[in-house]
Structure formats: C-alpha cells, structure tokens
Amino acid sequence: MAKKEKEFVQDITPMEVDFPQWYTDVILKTDLVDYSPVRGFMVIKPYGYAIWENIQKYMDKRFKDTGHKNCYFPLLIPESLLKKEEEHVEGFAPEVAWVTHGGKEELPERLCVRPTSETIICSMYAKWLKSYRELPYLYNQWCSVVRWEKTTRPFLRTSEFLWQEGHTLHETYDEAQAETLQMLQIYKETAEDLMAIPVVTGRKSDKEKFAGAYATYTMEALMHDGKALQAGTSHNLGQHFTKAFEITFLDRNGEIQNPYHTSWGVSTRLIGGIIMVHGDNRGLVLPPRVAPIQVVMIPIAQHKEGVLDKVYELKKALGDEIRIEIDDSENYSPGWKFNEWEMKGVPIRIEVGPRDIENNQVVIFRRDTLEKQSVSMDGLKETVEKLLDDIHESLLEKARKLRNEKTYYITDFEDFAKKMETAPGFAKGMWCGSRECEDNIKAKTSATIRCIPFEQEDLGDKCHFCGQEAKHMVYVAKAY
Amino acid sequence: MAKKEKEFVQDITPMEVDFPQWYTDVILKTDLVDYSPVRGFMVIKPYGYAIWENIQKYMDKRFKDTGHKNCYFPLLIPESLLKKEEEHVEGFAPEVAWVTHGGKEELPERLCVRPTSETIICSMYAKWLKSYRELPYLYNQWCSVVRWEKTTRPFLRTSEFLWQEGHTLHETYDEAQAETLQMLQIYKETAEDLMAIPVVTGRKSDKEKFAGAYATYTMEALMHDGKALQAGTSHNLGQHFTKAFEITFLDRNGEIQNPYHTSWGVSTRLIGGIIMVHGDNRGLVLPPRVAPIQVVMIPIAQHKEGVLDKVYELKKALGDEIRIEIDDSENYSPGWKFNEWEMKGVPIRIEVGPRDIENNQVVIFRRDTLEKQSVSMDGLKETVEKLLDDIHESLLEKARKLRNEKTYYITDFEDFAKKMETAPGFAKGMWCGSRECEDNIKAKTSATIRCIPFEQEDLGDKCHFCGQEAKHMVYVAKAY
C-alpha cells in the first residue's frame, strides 16, 4: 500500500487544539448520538446503537459459553431495600432518581430507578436459594440504569446508560473469586479482541472500589489525550450483601451458610473508549469487529453501463458474513461520499469504476492508514477478510504503542504532578497503601490511583507519593 | 405413535377448576417468573427470559430485513412533552410513574417513566428531519416501559414490561398505511410461524384505539378459557403527533410538510399467550421454535457402562442448531425428571437406556400429544428436526381448532350476553359503529369489540346489539 489520500477537512476541531470539542464534534457529526430534552440523558442513534449491538452479541455469547443465563429484574427499587447494605446506600443514594407518584397517587414508599441492581436481585435470591445443589447462580441482565450526574458527556458519563450486570452466587470464597477474575478476563478479551483497545487489569484501591464490595477489579484503558477510562469492573462482593439480605443455603454438611457473591458490568461507555482510542482528526476510526459497516462500496461513474451491476455482483461474492453497504445515492459525488464514510470510520472502502472493471480490479482504501491500492477482483472475499483482520491487529498495535508512549515511571511527586499537567498519561509508581496518601494525590493533581495491576513491577521500597514504606506498584492517571 | 404416558399429577390446579389459579401455578412452578418486592412488578427468571430472547431474535431479524434499525431513547420524559398531544396525555397520564427528585434535589419539572415513547421520539425527529430525501425514518427500540396498573398478572398486565416499539415517519399517508399493515403482518407471522398461535387481524374501534392514533390495527388470539388476548398492535398515527411536535420536511416540490407517522409494539405479554394457548393440566407446552430447550435427553440407568457416553455422542450428532439439554443429575430418578421436564413444556424428550443402545434405538416422547415411540439412532437428527416441525404444525392446528370451537355467530343480544357468561369465546356479529352501542355492550357483558376484522363476513343488515343499520362485522369477546 502506497498512495496517501490528500488531506480533507471534515469541519472537526483538531484533537490537538481542543480534545473535548473534537470528541463532541465526532459523536454528533457521525450520527452516533444526540442530546435529548432531558438534561444528561442521551439518544443513541442507529449508527451508535449498532456498535452496542455488536458488543452485546460478542459478550452475550461469551457469558453463555461460560454458563450464564439472562433474566430481568424490576426497574424500580424500594428505598428500604437500597438501604439494607450500609456502604452501598451511602455510595448510591446521592445519585438516584426517585419515583414518588404512581398515576395520581403518592406512593407509600419512594422507589428509586435502579442505579445498579444488587439490592433488588439479592432480595429475590434470598427468596429462591435453598441448597448448595442449586449453586452457583450465574445470572446476567442487559438493561438501562440511571445515576443522576451533574456533569455529563455522551457515552462517558450520562444520567442514563445501557449496560449488562452479572450477579452470581457461589458456595465458597474461592469460587466467587475465580468467577470475579474470569469475568474480568472476558472483559479484557472483549476490549482487545473485539475493540482493539489494550487494557491494564488489576485491583482497585479501597477508596475506589464499588460501594459494598470486598474487592473491585478493573480494566483501564488510556485515551488519546492521556486520560484513563475505567472500561469495566468486576466485584467480589464477599458476603456483604448476602448477610445484609439474609441469603442462606444448606451446605454440604447440612449447615446454614451465606453464599459468596459477585457482580460485574460494562456499559455503553465502551463506545466512548472506541472513539477516543482510535479516532483521528478526520473523525471515527472503527475497529472492524464492532463496525456497523465494515466495507462501503462506492461506484465510480455509476451511470456507465455495467458499473452498478458489477458492484452488486461483487457484494454478493463478498458474502453475508461481511457487513457491507453500497452507497449508490445519486445526489452526491464519489469524493463527497469518500469523505462522509471516512468520517464515519468505515474500515474499508472499495471503489469500482469502468477502468477498474476493464482491469478486473478494484481500489481498496484503508481508513486507519489512509492508504489506497488496487487489488484483483479474483479472491476479493479472502483479500477483504484478511485485511479486516490486519486492520484489527494494526489498530491494537497502534493503540498499544500510543499507550506505551504515554506511560512513564514516577521519579518524585513534584515531577509527577507537573507531568500530569503538561503531558498526562499512565504514571507508574510505588504506593504505601494509605488512604491519606491517596487523598493527597487527588487533592494535589486531580489524578487518581487507577489500579494495583496484576503485573506488579518492583520500582523501589518507598512510596513515590509520601516516602513511607511501599506496598504496591500502581498506575495513576487522570480519568474520565 | 401409540403408547400413552400414565397420568401424573403435577400439583397444578386443573384449568377447568380454576383457570387463573392454573395460570399462576404454571408460571411459578415452571420458573418462568416470580413476584418482586415492588407491587405489580415481576422478575423474569432465566427460563422465561430465554423465551423472550427467542422471540426477540426472530422479530429483530424480521425488522432488519424490512429496513428497520434499532436505537435507544431516554427512559424519562418531561411532563411538558407528554402533554403536547391532547388525546395521548389523556390516555396515559393516569397510569404513569413520576420522578420528582434527582439525588437530593427536587426537579424543576416532573419526569415520567416512559409508558411508550412517541413523545420523546417525536421531539427528536422534529430536530433531525429536514428533507424528503431522509425519509422514511424506520426505527425501533427494545426496552422496558412502565404503566401503573391497579390489578396485575405476570406477563399479561404488569406495571413494568419489556417490549419493542417501532416509530416510523413517511412522506405520504399511503406509505405510512403500508408500513402499519406490513408490521401487523410481521406480528401475525411471529404469532403463527414462531409461537403457533393463530390470530385474527383487523382494525380497532375508535374507542379501543391507541391514544393519539388515526387508526389502530391489532392481532387478537383466543385463550383456553375463551378470553381474547390483544397480542400486538400497529398504529397509523397520521399527522397527529407530527403536527403537535412540529415535525416538518421539505417535500419534492419544495414545500414544507408534516410527515406521516406510525408506531407498533409487542411485549412480554406474548409469553402469557403462549402459556394460555398451548398449556395443559401437566403444565407448559412450549412451541418448539420458542422453547429454550427443544430436546431434553434423559439417560436411563446412567451408571451402566456406555450409557452416558452414548447420550453425549447422540447430542453431538444432533448438532448445534437444536437446543438440547442433557439431564444427568444424580439426585433424581428418571421418572422424576420425566415429570419435571413435562411440566416445563420441553417439546421432545429422548430416553436412552442400556436396552435402547443394544437395539440401536432411543425412546422419543412428544410433550404435546404425550405419545411415546422407539426410533432408530440412525438419522436421529433428521427425525428430531422433522418432529419439531410436526409439533409446531400440530400445535397451531390444535389451537386453531380450539379457537373455532369457541367462535360462534351472534343471534341476538340476550343469547350473546348469556354465552359470554356461560361459554365465553369469540362472538361474531354485525355492529352499527356507534360509540353508544359499544359502551352498552361493555356495560352489560364486560365484553368488548376486539376488532373489525380484515376478513369481513356479511352477517346481515342490522346491528346485532342495537338493531340499527349495520356497518361492520366485528369480533366481540371478554379480554385480558
């Protein structure tokens, strides 16, 4: 691949100039999403929703292949249930929406729109579970949740978002821990194998863990602007909720026990991650496996005899597995179409004109590298399939390289604080483990400990932030 | 098929004794659903949800094959939007849940949890639509909706339910009408081809139409107890909402116009229909194409050498297309398992024991007819595939026969009113078309005009209910 496309301005603010504005321009101009009349609530438009459908399809299969089943629990949760687990209510009560009236009547008890479903699900598990023979419970639901947010940005932080939430029960702590880590691993594979987003996995500090969890595990991705995105979390909830909700079972020895409990979730936030990891100043760059349209075919001189027929013939030859759109609209020139589909991030463009047909070839354009080349019509299906895989690998590699460039070792607090201002990224350093020290990092730099990674490196004996004895190697970053 | 299974009591109230109790026994004992701590809200358990997933999968493909795309609109709708279309707010305001507080703050305007999304979607369409070139808009969403109900029954009428709602815009009235009827036809095919439920299709009377519609079309099914179930509706909304919400576009002549509008929906209510059309006194009878498990394989004398191996080998031979479960749990006898899976309505049971293996055969049991026969292991996949299709056809035929038995012609009002008490069913008769007459039917019999069917029969010149001049042939029934 050789020839580069000439530069074209898409009327998108360059990301180097104003990253948040670049993001807003991209999501609105590419029809992923729109603002709604309800502050903080977004409308996910068909092009954005189709990305979510591709994520759902992949994940749902992974969940089912590991024995999970889907179900559906009520949208509204009585206030008394939300209050049963102490940490949980403290964490969520400030950000829930309250239903106080049904029809014309005031309700005897307020109901909150679910911010997450541990409490309502635990109340049902308490009713259902009797014996160890029924365990494990491996259930998941796909739904929307509401968390009243003051500052919102589509996909990244909105007052309503779509997600999946898994909720499982186990006989032993070890099984719950294994489940927690298994689901995090599936999340990591979703990020890397489906979305071409490299992630760091590890444990959250106590300050950053889920309200009511024993331990929270996370995957963290780094965006173009050097800020981290928490892209999925998996919680070992221990027996916190199962005790509060009096979930019990008769164990193998005939004794009454509380089961061990996990929950795990990812949301439409992942779409924000795709945009901010792969996008460029021309707009979206969609990884092939989540792209709603993987190949756009554009006829050149489409009124000439045989051109459109050939395009439809080639589409047929490419088969049903590849998601293809033919843009044969008559109101726009090929050049206009090129730009439109580039902005929308379609991984491959195929151009077919009279001369191409004469030469038994087509022109293939790669969105990620902006390279163009002519290839034979023979074996086009194999060429395209291979190219889609290549683009995936190439995007993942590029993202990994960018992340590594923006990852550095902390030398001292002052240097770290300065870098967080001037060149934010993943900062690696040692941490003492104290909450006071963690609070201080945030107060001074607005960065937070993203995770204590599974892959620990020995970077010294002293905490880089306070000089006390070091306990963990951590990743620190500003975050969405 | 010859041998009949011996009778077994599943501890389910016989439907002839108490149909509502039969229904409740079946849904709870088969783990489809459970009551939740929020009055009127249900939990859809995995076995019930898997039926919904099969319905979704079929319908979503039909929608996409006819050019529709999915999207997602906010859960909460400002009160002012709900009020923009006059009939609509009158119809829905009495039954919505109101959110009045977000976090600790009282909201400046109440938000209702969507009872249906015409209003919020129209507010966005008004923002988006510019030119006829963008039409038609063919969008759908899968979500949950809330309608505050006083009396509820799982699947049939609950304060929250899952559904899909399509919302389309068109250049002309004719196109909107064609869309309305196309979607009703897809609903009818879903009922008959997927769920084996025969339906009558037609138009609703003005009294029974959707709040804000120009015309509502419906499919109506008849349950075992002779009551009708409105199983799906498709609305031609004309320009009622597009005018109220000021949705306009520049037409082909450069003039500003309001587009024509449709909406259409089916819900988890369909699952209630499946139960009440096909179920019997042993429990569920699931039509093969929606059954979460199509075949349950039960090893006989499973500890004998070779039995379990053969069962797993046969499952493999049956392939991935058939949904199969092997019940090799050790705590229960084969007899117990037979009864359990019969109650859960699995269409086919395959028994494999040492003697069967010796004879190169298996025993196949049909849930719908309770017949058992031995068949060869050779070609088992083809045998089972054919049998699944046969069961579908047989269930549809049986349901059609039952419906016809419970369908009668009205002779006079008195006889009709008496039959509605003693032997309810579909009553066919002529109707004058007046609202007063319609109100009188309901007041006197609690039955309602279910629809003015597309297939009109000429049953005389006079209204069977008031003696005035007849306008339409109608179906009248008590309904869920």
**pLDDT tens readout for residues A171-192:** 999 999 999 999 999 999 999 9
Radius of gyration of chain B (CA): 25
**pLDDT tens readout for residues B218-268:** 999 999 999 999 999 999 999 999 999 999 999 999 999 999 999 999 999
Residue A211 in tokens: 């309200």
Query: Does residue A8 sit within a domain?
Result: no
The reply to whether A338 and A237 lie within a common domain is: no
A120·B37 Cβ contact <8 A: yes
Burial-class residue B95 by CB neighbours within 10 Å (0-12, 13-18, 19+). middle
Single residue among B278, B308, B340 that ends a domain in this structure? B278
DSSP state of A207: T
Single residue among B213, B244, B278 that ends a domain in this structure? B278
Contact A266, A187 (CB under 8 A): yes
Residue A268 backbone dihedrals phi, psi, to 5 degrees: -60, -10
Report the C-alpha gap between A404 and A401 in whole angstroms. 5
A74·B146 Cβ contact <8 A: no
Strand partners of residue A349: A296, A365
Report the C-alpha gap between B408 and B30 in whole angstroms. 34
Picking from B70, B77, B148, the nearest residue to A53 by CB comes out as B70
DSSP states of B344-395: TT-SEEEEE-HHHHHTTEEEEEETTT-BEEEEESTTHHHHHHHHHHHHHHHH
B113·A113 Cβ contact <8 A: yes
Report the C-alpha gap between B280 and B195 in whole angstroms. 16
**Chain A residues with CB inside 8 Å of B38's CB?**
74, 76-78, 111, 120
Query: Does residue B3 sit within a domain?
Result: no
Q: What is the ipTM of this complex?
A: 0.95
Instruction: Please name the residues between 18 and 47 in chain A that touch chain B, using a CB distance below 8 Å.
Output: 34, 36-38, 41-46
Query: Does residue A5 sit within a domain?
Result: no
Question: Which residues touch B258 (CB under 8 Å, ≥6 apart)?
Answer: B239, B242, B243, B247, B248
Residue A417 in tokens: 């604080």
Q: Say yes or no: A134 contacts chain B, CB-CB below 8 A.
A: no
Give the alpha-carbon dihedral of A247, A253, A254, A258, to 10 degrees: -10
**Amino acid identity, position B329:** S
What residue has token string 């031979």? B317
Residue A10: per-residue pLDDT: 64
Residue A367: per-residue pLDDT: 98
Residue B425 in tokens: 């069913």
Residue A85: per-residue pLDDT: 84
CATH at B451: 3.30.110.30
Burial-class residue A414 by CB neighbours within 10 Å (0-12, 13-18, 19+). exposed
Q: Is B260 helix (H, G, I), strand (E, B) or coil?
A: strand
The reply to whether B190 and B321 lie within a common domain is: no
Query: Does residue B289 sit within a domain?
Result: no
Residue B10: per-residue pLDDT: 64
A43·B72 Cβ contact <8 A: yes
The reply to whether B162 and B50 lie within a common domain is: yes
Contact A132, A249 (CB under 8 A): yes
The reply to whether B139 and B191 lie within a common domain is: yes
The reply to whether A75 and A23 lie within a common domain is: yes
Query: Does residue A290 sit within a domain?
Result: no
Mutation for testing the B interface, residue in A99, A111, A113, A293 having most B CBs under 10 Å? A99
H/E segment holding residue B214: none
B124·A69 Cβ contact <8 A: no
Single residue among A278, A303, A320 that ends a domain in this structure? A278
Query: Does residue A89 sit within a domain?
Result: yes
Residue A80: per-residue pLDDT: 94
Residue B2: per-residue pLDDT: 44
Q: Cα B444 to the chain's mean position, in Å?
A: 28
Q: Is B45 helix (H, G, I), strand (E, B) or coil?
A: coil
The reply to whether A331 and A254 lie within a common domain is: no
The reply to whether B347 and B454 lie within a common domain is: no
**Chain A residues with CB inside 8 Å of B97's CB?**
76, 99, 101-102, 111
B139·A46 Cβ contact <8 A: yes
Contact B268, B163 (CB under 8 A): yes
The reply to whether B243 and B354 lie within a common domain is: no
Report the C-alpha gap between B234 and B194 in whole angstroms. 19
Q: Which residues of chain A have pLDDT under 70?
A: 1-10
What residue has token string 């687990």? A85
CATH at B218: 3.30.930.10
Select from A285, A294, A267 the least CA-distant residue to A59.
A267
B111·A38 Cβ contact <8 A: yes
The reply to whether B224 and B83 lie within a common domain is: yes
Residue A81 backbone dihedrals phi, psi, to 5 degrees: -70, -40
Residue A97: per-residue pLDDT: 96
Question: Alpha helix (H) ranges present in B406-454?
Answer: 413-422, 435-445
| B53-59 long-range Cβ contacts below 8 angstroms, 24+ apart | B53/A70, B54/B194, B54/B289, B54/B290, B54/B291, B54/B292, B55/B190, B55/B194, B55/B195, B55/B266, B55/B270, B55/B271, B55/B290, B56/B142, B56/B164, B58/B190, B58/B194, B58/B289, B59/B164, B59/B186, B59/B190, B59/B266
Report the C-alpha gap between A149 and B461 in whole angstroms. 64
**Chain B residues with CB inside 8 Å of A100's CB?**
98-101
Q: Which residues of chain B have pLDDT under 50?
A: 1-7
| B133-138 long-range Cβ contacts below 8 angstroms, 24+ apart | B133/A331, B134/B249, B135/B169, B135/B170, B135/B171, B135/B249, B135/B259, B136/B168, B136/B169, B136/B170, B136/B171, B136/B175, B136/B179, B137/B167, B137/B168, B137/B169, B137/B259, B138/B66, B138/B67, B138/B68, B138/B69, B138/B166, B138/B168, B138/B179
Query: Does residue B272 sit within a domain?
Result: yes
Q: Which residue of B has its CA nearest to A43?
A: B73
Cα distances (Å, whole numbers) of residue A238 to A213, A244, A335: 7, 11, 58
The reply to whether A217 and A89 lie within a common domain is: yes
Picking from A45, A99, A146, the nearest residue to B71 by CB comes out as A45
The reply to whether B64 and B106 lie within a common domain is: yes
β-pairing, B295-299 with B348-352?
parallel
The reply to whether B207 and B142 lie within a common domain is: yes
How many separate domains does chain B show?
3
Residue A25 in tokens: 């321009």
Query: Does residue B198 sit within a domain?
Result: yes
Phi-psi bin for B155: left (phi > 0), alpha (psi -120 to 50), beta? left
Task: Provide the residue range defining the domain that includes B186.
Answer: 19-278
B71·A46 Cβ contact <8 A: yes
CATH at A350: 3.40.50.800
Q: Is B264 helix (H, G, I), strand (E, B) or coil?
A: strand
